Structure 1
Amino acid sequence: MRWNGRTRCALICIAFVLLFSAFSFRLVYLQLVKHDEYAGLAAEKHVYKQPIYAERGAITDANGEVLAHNVPVEIVVADTSHLNKEKVAEAVALLSRDLKIDADELWGKLGSDRHYIVLKRDVPESAADALRAKLREENLRG
């Protein structure tokens, strides 16, 4: 058989088409079928999680004198969607005594249509923990 230019060109084109088809099928296989496996391997290789437990410190001036320091405080909030009418009276009595807020003011806040209500800000952490324990003891939610 005699190889003329046209036959050689056709064979080379067919070889390239087969080669690119093989590469295309391999690419589709890796992208669609093996995606989860290779994504997991890549994440293991490139993602490193290390928790850093940092406590904020005092702010000092150039002479080392403390300008500001941390005072851990909490915010006392109420979710009125968890309170029914009978529980509101108990909650008002407990909260007004412990937070030193007027009972009428608490009735007004807890009687509103909003679900998330800030009752008091800047409550010391120890007082917030004690209040949380009393609320659990009285089985008051919200």
Structure 2
Amino acid sequence: MSVRSTRHARRPGLLWRVSALLLAAGSVLMAAAPADAHAELIATSPASGSIHAVPPTEFTLTFNEPVGAEFTSMALSVGGRRVETLPVRQGATSTSVTADLSAEASARPDGSPTLWRVDYRVTSDDGHPIQGLVKFVVDPRSSVEGRGVLGSGGRDAPEL
């Protein structure tokens, strides 16, 4: 057998080993991919854009993975007036955090529609910060609790 034919005979074995190595490396990288995922907001209560006849007494953020109240801050603005930073506690599950709105809810004397805005910042268990805001309207004249689309109301509807 010549040197040339021996060299060609070894290539299929080498190609097989390189292919197996690449496949193994790809499998390891694919298995590690979910570890890079961060917590994502999946729901709020009250929902963003909703309209409520009575002021809510709580505000809850729900995520797709655990978050802690100790690394969460929420601030409420009502009708353009900023209220103190809200007290936050762990929600009903490890994936939710809840703020107490009862003090502000009981202090709503007038009957006009009012825009409520909650700004939040949460640090997930993996250390990734998540921040955003949720807007909803409290309108004592509303007959449809928790539904509606902001900005589609009459001339008295608060602007987002």
Q: What TM-score do you get using the length of structure 2 for normalisation?
A: 0.26
Which has more strand, going by share of residues? 2
TM-score, structure 1 normalization = 0.28
By percentage of residues, which structure has more helix? Answer: 1
Larger radius of gyration: 1
